[in-house]
Amino acid sequence: KYSLQFLDEPVSDLMNVFGTEFVSYISNYGYDRVLRILGHNMRDFLNGLDNLHEYMRYTYPRMRPPSFYLEKENAHGLTLHYRIRR
């Protein structure tokens, strides 16, 4: 949000650009295959993030990843809980 003071852009626009660039970045380096393994839809992908982070801890033992919990999903969207240890 600090960056938005200088960019004079809505948060939603900045997040959209970040998401697009992130997908391009991971695709260029072959990580898109890893993400596809996590799930065929958004629910499966989000539910698999904790497993991915746990696997990454072998490479980055000091990593303190966030945890995601998908509470519910319906035609209007989903409720995702995000937790991080500080």
User: Tens digits of per-residue pLDDT, 41-84?
Assistant: 888 888 888 988 888 889 999 998 999 998 888 888 889 898 98
Q: Which residues pair with 74 in a beta bridge?
A: 77
The b/e string for 19-53 (b: 16+ C-beta within 10 A; e otherwise) is eeeeeeeeeeeeeeeeeeeeeeeeeebbbebeeeb
Confidence of residue 15 (pLDDT cuts 50, 70, 90): confident
Closest CA to 28 of 38, 39, 20: 20
The pTM score is 0.60
